[in-house]
């Protein structure tokens, strides 16, 4: 009798294992018979340096980052292939497989030579806000991005039956990944605490978004404030809690944990972004979109693009060595694990594919560098623009010859220079001579002479990949490693250096094998790899390569 019971148990266990294996391997068949996953999920962690995959790994659960690494495929030496390494350019590159020189997204904003004005990456005056009384927050679309995305090509391949939706606190983190033909992109309005969109996508919010906004989930996160997830003395990977070189985003009276957020309820909705709960809220609306739009439930593969912006806001304010950043990643790991479990339940384990990356890394706070006798310092582009304008006015007797210092470049007032028949080369030479004397400057040169300028090939290629003539300046500045364009508190990013350009690149789920590669790969390789997996055309500006090792 015992032998029969044992045999029955073995049979039952075998059947269960077979059933689980069958679920994992059952493909989603598109209407044309091509095997694809039910859902593609792109996750961009804003300002996540590669080392954050491991920096707090002894405190990560087995469900979040570790699950992706232990079951998925990681490209350990993935780099951004251009400068400047900033948010809009990163999101555009990941989803287009392209670079600013092709897709036109040369920064979060730029001076446009044709329009003769400053242009924000996703601004679109031709559309209106949907879901917000502040019209400017909703006047957004992907029109400034000049190429297609993964989602656009997926929609084209399925005759627009696939659904593509983007969500992020930042409009650019939602709009650019979702692409031109997306069904929707939703972003967070800091004035109202609502998730909004624009008339580019729809004339009114779906009921589920209206209901989500009505719940005022932001106030619920404010209720308990922000304290460390674990006892503060256990945060051994970080500096002391209170540092003079950290910002005070919650008020001058709040300089360390715990942070009281309840006072922001019902009136200040922007502060949520500089807490880990901004990421939690983004996952909340991602789940709501998954459920209400029935993503992964149709006959074709759908796509959900998620950008997690709070890591960037926290990093800018407190720096990568702060307790605030450590706590944000520990909480993000838990949120990520919860979201993966949610996908298992709603879509089915083995039925979806996830890729996780970052739009850029981050530099150490200069004050932290000095504290630890490491090289680094400050450069202030706003002050430098004033100096250059004063200098050129004195020499050429004309005011405001420099109109912008966007993206580590000097932009000249070309219409004024042309109308007055000034010597443009003499103006450029004057600016370069002044910039060369600055402590922060490693090199400065006229952009038209980039190919002749003695630079390491990798650095030169990154700058060339970031050059789009009508949206770039005349002079390129290259700061020394460790130097940032900023103030005495907080930090930023944007340079070619590894701390800004070395990013995570992890694939997981349907069609992905377990493993890793240490060969050099690039941010622009994500899009062609995913489109190869889906057996669809790569985006129209893609110049990346398929990472063949990723796929089964």
Q: Which residues contact 286 (CB under 8 A, 6 or more apart)?
A: 167, 304, 306, 339
Predicted confidence (pLDDT) per residue in 483-494, tens digit? 999 999 999 999
Domain contains 438: yes
Range of the domain at 420: 377-485
Share of the chain above pLDDT 70, in %: 95
Mean pLDDT computed over 133-141 = 87
* Residues involved in catalysis: 87
What pLDDT is recorded for position 28?
A: 61
Predicted confidence (pLDDT) per residue in 164-197, tens digit? 999 999 999 999 999 999 999 999 999 999 999 9
What pLDDT is recorded for position 137?
A: 86
Domain contains 134: no
Residue 154 has pLDDT above 60, yes or no: yes
Predicted confidence (pLDDT) per residue in 304-349, tens digit? 999 999 999 999 999 999 999 999 999 999 999 999 999 999 999 9
Domain contains 277: no
User: What's the predicted TM-score (pTM) here?
Assistant: 0.94
User: Which is higher by pLDDT, 138 or 4?
Assistant: 138
Predicted confidence (pLDDT) per residue in 37-71, tens digit? 999 999 999 999 999 999 999 999 999 999 999 99
29: pLDDT confidence band, cut at 50, 70 and 90? low
Q: Which residues contact 20 (CB under 8 A, 6 or more apart)?
A: none
Predicted confidence (pLDDT) per residue in 110-128, tens digit? 999 999 999 999 999 999 9
Domain contains 205: no
What pLDDT is recorded for position 132?
A: 87
249, 265, 318 from 269: Cα distances, Å: 13, 7, 20
Predicted confidence (pLDDT) per residue in 396-436, tens digit? 999 999 999 999 999 999 999 999 999 999 999 999 999 99
- Record the tokens describing residue 447, joined without a space: 């952009």
Share of the chain above pLDDT 90, in %: 93
Mean pLDDT computed over 101-117 = 97
Mean pLDDT computed over 352-375 = 97
According to DSSP, residue 347 is labeled I
Q: Length of the chain, please?
A: 552
16: pLDDT confidence band, cut at 50, 70 and 90? very low
94, 206, 472 from 43: Cα distances, Å: 10, 23, 29
Domain contains 403: yes
Question: Mean pLDDT of all residues in the chain?
Answer: 94
Q: Which residues contact 404 (CB under 8 A, 6 or more apart)?
A: 110, 111, 118, 385, 410, 411, 473
d(CA 142, CA 146): 9
What pLDDT is recorded for position 201?
A: 98
Q: Are 539 and 178 in contact (CB under 8 A)?
A: no
Q: What phi and psi, each to the nearest 5 degrees, are found at residue 317?
A: -75, -40
* 323-343 vs 277-292: helix crossing angle, rounded to 10: 10
Domain contains 400: yes
Predicted confidence (pLDDT) per residue in 451-480, tens digit? 999 999 999 999 999 999 999 999 999 999
d(CA 90, CA 75): 17
Q: Which residues contact 97 (CB under 8 A, 6 or more apart)?
A: 150, 524, 525, 526, 527, 528, 531, 538, 539, 541, 542, 543, 544
Domain contains 25: no
User: Which is higher by pLDDT, 31 or 551?
Assistant: 551
What pLDDT is recorded for position 133?
A: 82
Domain count, the chain: 1
- Record the tokens describing residue 203, joined without a space: 């004339």
d(CA 142, CA 120): 11
Report the DSSP pairing between strands 194-198 and 129-130.
antiparallel
4: pLDDT confidence band, cut at 50, 70 and 90? very low
Domain contains 387: yes
Residue 5 has pLDDT above 80, yes or no: no
Residue 22's CB is within 10 A of a number of other CB atoms, namely 10
Q: Are 354 and 339 in contact (CB under 8 A)?
A: no
Q: Which residues contact 542 (CB under 8 A, 6 or more apart)?
A: 96, 97, 98, 147, 524, 527, 528, 531
Q: Which residue has the tokens 């390569």?
A: 545
Mean pLDDT computed over 295-300 = 96
Residue 548's CB is within 10 A of a number of other CB atoms, namely 9
37, 178, 395, 534 from 538: Cα distances, Å: 17, 15, 51, 10
CATH at residue 411? 3.30.1360.150
């Amino acid at each position: 009798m015992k032998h029969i019971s044992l045999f029955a148990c073995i049979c039952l266990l075998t059947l269960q294992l077979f059933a689980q294996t069958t679920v994992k391997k059952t493909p989603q068949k598109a209407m044309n018979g091509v095997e694809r996953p039910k859902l593609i999920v792109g996750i961009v962690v804003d300002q996540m340096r590669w080392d954050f995959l491991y920096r707090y790994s002894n405190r990560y659960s087995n469900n979040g980052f570790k699950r992706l690494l232990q079951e998925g495929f990681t490209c350990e030496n993935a780099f951004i292939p251009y400068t400047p390494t900033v948010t809009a350019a990163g999101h555009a590159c990941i989803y287009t497989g392209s670079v600013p020189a092709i897709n036109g997204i040369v920064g979060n904003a730029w001076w446009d030579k044709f329009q003769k004005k400053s242009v924000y990456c996703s601004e679109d005056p031709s559309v209106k806000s949907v879901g917000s009384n502040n019209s400017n927050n909703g006047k957004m679309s992907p029109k400034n991005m000049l190429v297609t995305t993964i989602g656009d090509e997926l929609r084209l391949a399925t005759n627009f039956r696939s659904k593509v939706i983007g969500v992020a606190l930042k409009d650019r983190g939602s709009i650019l990944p979702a692409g031109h033909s997306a069904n929707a992109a939703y972003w967070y309005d800091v004035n109202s605490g609502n998730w909004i969109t624009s008339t580019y996508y729809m004339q009114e919010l779906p009921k589920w978004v209206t209901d989500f906004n009505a719940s005022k989930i932001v106030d619920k996160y404010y209720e308990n404030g922000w304290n460390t997830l674990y006892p503060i003395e256990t945060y051994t990977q970080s500096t002391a809690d209170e540092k003079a070189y950290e910002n005070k985003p919650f008020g001058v009276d709040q300089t360390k944990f715990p942070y009281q957020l309840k006072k922001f309820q019902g009136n200040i909705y922007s502060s949520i972004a500089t807490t880990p709960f901004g990421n939690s809220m983004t996952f909340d609306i991602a789940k709501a979109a998954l459920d209400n739009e029935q993503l992964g439930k149709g006959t074709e593969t759908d796509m959900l693009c998620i950008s997690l912006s709070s890591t960037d806001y926290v990093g800018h304010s407190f720096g990568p060595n702060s307790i605030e950043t450590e706590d944000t990643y520990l909480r993000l790991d838990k949120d990520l694990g919860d979201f993966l479990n949610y996908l298992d339940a709603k879509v089915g384990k083995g039925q979806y594919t996830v890729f996780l990356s970052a739009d850029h890394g981050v530099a150490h706070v200069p004050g932290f560098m000095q504290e630890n006798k490491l090289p680094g310092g400050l450069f202030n582009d706003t002050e430098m623009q004033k100096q250059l304008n004063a200098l050129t006015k004195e020499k050429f007797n004309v005011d405001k010859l420099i109109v912008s210092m966007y993206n580590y470049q000097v932009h000249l007032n070309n219409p004024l220079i042309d109308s007055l028949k000034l010597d443009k080369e003499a103006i450029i030479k004057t600016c370069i001579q002044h910039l060369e004397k600055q402590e922060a400057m490693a090199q400065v040169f006229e952009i038209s002479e980039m190919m002749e300028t003695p630079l390491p090939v990798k650095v030169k290629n990154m700058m060339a990949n970031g050059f789009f003539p009508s949206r770039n300046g005349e002079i390129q500045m290259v700061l020394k490693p460790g130097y940032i364009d900023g103030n005495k508190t907080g930090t930023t990013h944007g340079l070619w250096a590894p701390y800004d350009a070395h990013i995570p690149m992890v694939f997981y789920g349907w069609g992905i094998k377990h493993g890793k590669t240490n060969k050099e790969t690039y941010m622009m390789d994500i899009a062609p790899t995913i489109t190869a997996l889906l057996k669809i055309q790569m985006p129209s500006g893609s110049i990346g390569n398929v990472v063949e090792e990723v796929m089964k």
